[in-house]
Amino acid sequence: MLSTLSYLTFCLLVAIYAQNKGRSSLKAFLVSLIFTPLVGFIVVLLLEESLSVKINRYHYEHGCKRPSLTDKIRNLQFLKQEGVLSEQEYQHQISKLRKNYFHASY
């Protein structure tokens, strides 16, 4: 009983470590469960951090301010006025921004 609980705890720790690297915690948990937590840990250790984690860390370390939704919309309006974006491309980019913004808010 205690060994099973310990085994599952180590599998969970590997999953948390994978999630902190921006990787799938479920996959890491399953690899750890099927093989061993040590093998799962080594696999996750060999994986690079995801690009989004690297970008977030860079912004945090360098004190960069990420552009707000308003700033992004203003940039798109400027590109549309300059003729770089068509009306259809502009509307598509605006809808993507709104979708991502509202999806990330919840």
Domain boundary assignment for the chain: 2-48, 69-105
- C-beta separation of 95 from 69 below 8 A: no
Place of tokens 């974006």: 85
**Distance of alpha carbon 84 from alpha carbon 61, whole angstroms:** 33
| In the chain, % of residues over pLDDT 90 | 48
Q: Which of 18-27, 41-50, 65-74, 76-85 has the lowest mean pLDDT?
A: 65-74
Say what the pLDDT of residue 106 is.
44
- Which residues, in sequence order, are CB contacts of 32 under 8 Å at separation 6+? 10, 11, 14, 15, 39, 40, 41
78, pLDDT greater than 60: yes
Q: How far apart are CA 30 and CA 27, in angstroms?
A: 5
pLDDT at residue 94 tops 50: yes
- Give the chain's mean pLDDT: 86
Is the pLDDT at 105 greater than 70, yes or no? no
Q: How far apart are CA 14 and CA 42, in angstroms?
A: 9
Say what the pLDDT of residue 97 is.
85
